[in-house]
Amino acid sequence: MAIHFLSHLLETITPYYTIIWFVLVGALFTGYSMLDGFDLGVGVLHLLVSKDEERRIFLNAIGPVWDGNEVWLVVGGGALFAAFPGAYATVFSGFYMPFIFLLVFLIFRAVAIEFRSKEPSTLWRQTWDHLFAVGSILASFMLGITLGNLTRGIPLDAEGEFIGTFWDLLNPYSLFMGVTVVVLFAMHGSIYLVMKTEGALQERVKSWVPYLILLFVACYFIFNFSTLIVAPHLAEIVFSRPWIFGVLGLDMFFLWKVWTFVKQGKELLGFLCSCIMMALLLATFGLTYYPNMVLSHPHPENSVTIFNAASTSKTLGLLCVIVLLGIPMVVSYTTSVYWIFRGKTRLTDTSY
Amino acid sequence: MEVEILARIQFAFTVAFHYIYPPLTMGLGLLLVLMEGTFIVTGDRMYHRLAHFWTRIFAVIFSIGTATGIVMEFEFGTNWATYSRFVGDIFGSALAAEGVFAFMLEAGFLSLLLFGWDKVGKKTHFFATCMVCLGSHFSAIWIVVANSWMQTPAGYHLELFQNGVHSILPADYILQTADIGHVRAVIDSFWEMVFNPSSLQRLCHVIFGTWLSGSFLVISVSAYYLIRGRHRRFAEASMTIAIFLAAATSVFQSISADATARGVVQHQPIKLAAMEGVYHTAPYTPMNLFGYVDASQQTVYSIQIPGLLSLLAFHNIKTPVIGLDQLPSDAFLAARNPGKSAQELAALRPQYWPKVQGVFQTYHIMIIFGSIVFGMAFFSLFLWWKGWLFRTDSLLVRLWLFLLIFSVLFPQICNQAGWFTAEMGRQPWVVYNILKTSQAFSKKVSSDQVLGSLLLFFAIYSLLFFAFLYLLNRKIQHGPDDPEEDPEPLEDGKRDFFYQLMVGTDSSRASS
């Protein structure tokens, strides 16, 4: 019965496989930025508190979950490899150095989390604190650079291979996108911290939130306008799909709700709104970008798209089966873990 | 240096470094299940402490395993873009299954395993432990399946994509240089891909290897405690469970080693010939115990047992094992080099061989250390059975325990050497007999970039390794939490390790 239903379902969706996988790969990377976004953000803010106990609370707020959050990057990368090998190969070889740096910063950060509280010495803790913060900032920055370049388009040849250099990737637009992502994650992280802290520390973190929101709004408008100038081809698409403006408006609405919920002390709702806001941001990107996977600029005809980069529909079908079986399980135990570790962070003997 | 060589060095280095950790977490994961399961069944708090302590060790290993694992997934794309395009359709489903079923399962339940002791009931916690163990084994399944497909491809056809048209290529199609980048392997049957001819044997071989790694880690640390006279009851209980697992797994591993080797005989005869340095086909093919390959003279200087390789490969002492003089076959060579004479083809033959010396040596390192592991497991079991293993008042027992401290390295050496044999033996192919390694790397990445990233990885992995050893040592020195159970004699705590090894500790003398 269940199998019959599954095969019937798969038959119905077969013509839409590539679209479904465009959405799913996007959803996985959205999941990654929502989840690892807040723990990278906590890292960005780490040096803003200076007492040892406060820093430990920051670390332990993300303690039980950061490792699992990073797995979303692995799964997202795996899904991209599986569903769109052409896009995976182009992006990963094209962004060679940014991705290597991303890996290095993520490793530094992981080590710093593990090590920091293992020795009481101030110098020791200061060193790891700085590595943790710098690793978090630069990892977020690399993600931003990648997103910026994808938006702007990178030079591809007829085979869909990147023909620029590393320095081409460091253009002002993408660098600014890097900054924007750091600010975005810091904002998201601060809201998570409001949820996980209490007392005087919570009051302090709370006081950062409006500044971070304003800073992000400023970045948001600057990059939206610069996109219109730097990537006129995307501007064209946006104006031909005017409902995208609706999504942008919704985005600002949720950002505003974040602040009102945080102010009212409804921390969980505030954090959820922040998550929705990030999901909408990436949705805007996906809606504008479709059907491209990697935009070629200046030769748009060389772009890697969902049509020329996808696996066969047989493989996409197998992937659908895997997802239909796997995702309910993943969602159920991920939520259980967040539920079990809900509430304020307190330091115990198993803490970092 | 060339991009290809650098990319290969980088992949070998990062994957070899990564593979220090997953075998430990898999083996230790199984032991955690056994320990916590014993606690649930017997209710003995001792086993709860066992699970609690080894979980802390598990956590250290796991975090480094994850950090270095992300690198592997990225490297397929960064350094081997052409390969990724070629195999994406095949590997896709295996990798996605790994991500969804294995990594998510592991990461999801890991936090419960580590931080959930007081947050959930003991049965729920045990369930989390089982899921983490299962997740780590799942991840081995999919990655070994993918690698086995590269060794013995099955359930696919080749497809050419040119000028916007997809066309199916015949089964015996030979890839031309001009095709690279336009041809991909396309899946026909998921199950044929998963159960390709070498998957099952290699999967068992890998999993048993990880159980041995985990067991000997526990044996090694426990041996250290016993010599130190610390946490005696705890160390004895840990070691007993680990020795039983190690001994049982040694037997399984011998059977699986035989099956794996016979699979290689059947499907990759060139690899087998290189493993034993068989240059010339002759009956009563010998097996080498150890030796040296002179590749220029095509001779092997070694201690041999005549006929043993024939016996193991074909269960008949007389049947000759085909040597490199006939491999690959004339037909195979002629198909790839049309219009060449018989002599010219024979001269081309060595281009299709792996580096015999490398494959030979890594293979024999695996065999030698594998035998040592087997011996150590069974000798320890024998001592345990006689009731001698924990008699630390005896110098001989202490010396044996001293050897056991180093035993943690031996399964690791086997794992590494075994993988080097498998992967070097696959050369010059990345996908066996279809796509060459020299055709598979990223065309648009410069050698400077690869060299730069290689140096970067080398630096950061050195740091990571010292960090790992430092943390591991701290956890071991800290020991399990059993203050009232095992009051540590102050005197001994100050004493030197070698003094305790030669003379014994106060507590070991008291126990005599």
B157 shares contact with chain A (CB less than 8 Å): no
pTM over 0.80: yes
DSSP states of B230-265: -SHHHHHHHHHHHHHHHHHHHHHHHHHHHHHHHHHH
Q: Which amino acid, one-letter code, is at B151?
A: Q
Average pLDDT estimate for B88-93:
84
Q: Does the residue B306 lie in any domain?
A: no
* Best residue in A60, A103, A330 for a mutation probing chain B (most B CBs within 10 Å): A103
Both structure tokens of B73: 């997934």
Q: Among A91-95, A127-131, B23-27, B300-304, which is the least confidently predicted range?
A: B300-304
How many contacts, defined by CB atoms under 8 Å, are there between A and B? Answer: 211
Q: Does the residue B310 lie in any domain?
A: no
- In the predicted structure, residue A169 carries a pLDDT above the cut 80: yes
Residue pLDDT, tens place only, B112-130: 888 878 778 888 889 989 9
DSSP secondary structure code for residue B319 in this structure: S
Residues 19-58 of B with CB under 8 A from A: none
| B299: helix, strand or coil | strand
Confidence of residue B483 (pLDDT cuts 50, 70, 90): low
Residue pLDDT, tens place only, A170-214: 889 999 999 999 999 999 999 999 888 888 888 888 889 889 999
- Helical segments of A46-65, H only: 52-62
B444 shares contact with chain A (CB less than 8 Å): yes
Q: Quick one: residue A47, left, alpha or beta (phi over 0 = left, psi -120 to 50 = alpha)?
A: alpha
Q: Closest approach of chain A CAs to the CA of B491, in angstroms? A: 25
CA A236 – CA B301 distance, rounded (Å): 73
Average pLDDT estimate for B192-204:
90
User: Per the CB < 8 Å rule, is A330 touching B452?
Assistant: no
Residue pLDDT, tens place only, B310-353: 888 888 888 888 888 888 888 888 888 888 888 888 888 888 88
Residues 54-93 of A with CB under 8 A from B: 63-65, 67-68, 70-71, 73-75, 77-79, 81-86, 88-93
Both structure tokens of B70: 């992300």
**Distances in whole angstroms, Cα of residue B49 to Cα of each of B29, B123, B342:** 15, 16, 70
Q: Which residue has the higher pLDDT, A22 or A343?
A: A22
Q: Name residues whose C-beta falls within 8 Å of residue B488's C-beta, 6 or more positions apart in sequence.
A: B230
**ipTM metric:** 0.83
Residue pLDDT, tens place only, B6-59: 999 999 999 999 999 999 999 999 999 999 999 989 888 888 888 889 988 998
B107 shares contact with chain A (CB less than 8 Å): yes
Q: Which of A162-166, A300-304, A315-319, B217-221 has the highest mean pLDDT?
A: B217-221
Q: Which residue has the higher pLDDT, B378 or B168?
A: B378
Q: How many CB atoms are closer than 10 A to CB B302?
A: 17
**Distances in whole angstroms, Cα of residue A37 to Cα of each of A338, B49, B239:** 16, 36, 43
CA angle B258, B264, B268 (to 5 degrees): 170
* Total count of residues recorded for chain A: 352
As for how many domains chain B has, the answer is: 1
Task: Please report the pLDDT score of residue B416 as a whole number.
Answer: 94
B291 close to B302: Cβ distance less than 8 angstroms: yes
Average pLDDT estimate for A223-249:
84
- In the predicted structure, residue B512 carries a pLDDT above the cut 50: no
User: Per the CB < 8 Å rule, is B63 touching A67?
Assistant: yes
**Distances in whole angstroms, Cα of residue B138 to Cα of each of B113, B124, B195, B393:** 18, 21, 15, 44
Bridge partners of B287, per DSSP, are B305
Residue holding tokens 């060389």? A302
- Closest of A247, A268, A199, A222 to residue A38, by C-alpha: A268
Residues of A with CB below 8 A from B99's CB? 71, 74-75, 78-79
- In the predicted structure, residue B489 carries a pLDDT above the cut 70: no
DSSP states of A67-127: HHHHHHHHHHHHHHHHH-HHHHHHHHHHTHHHHHHHHHHHHHHHHHHHHGGGS--HHHHHH
CA B445 – CA B422 distance, rounded (Å): 27
Residues of B with CB below 8 A from A31's CB? none
**Average pLDDT over chain B, rounded to whole?**
86
Residue pLDDT, tens place only, B430-469: 988 888 888 888 877 888 888 988 999 999 899 888 888 8
The domain limits of chain A are 16-340
Confidence of residue B488 (pLDDT cuts 50, 70, 90): low
- Closest of A188, A176, A128, A126 to residue A149, by C-alpha: A176
B453 shares contact with chain A (CB less than 8 Å): yes
Average pLDDT estimate for A331-351:
76
Q: Which amino acid, one-letter code, is at B296?
A: S
Task: Please report the pLDDT score of residue B1 as a whole number.
Answer: 63
B114 shares contact with chain A (CB less than 8 Å): yes
Choose the closest CB to B108 out of A73, A85, A330. A330
| B172: helix, strand or coil | coil
Q: Does the residue B299 lie in any domain?
A: no
CA A291 – CA A241 distance, rounded (Å): 13
Domain range for residue B259?
Answer: 3-273+351-511
Residue pLDDT, tens place only, B224-283: 988 888 888 888 889 999 999 999 999 999 999 888 888 888 888 899 888 888 888 888
Bridge partners of B282, per DSSP, are B321
Task: Please report the pLDDT score of residue B11 as a whole number.
Answer: 93
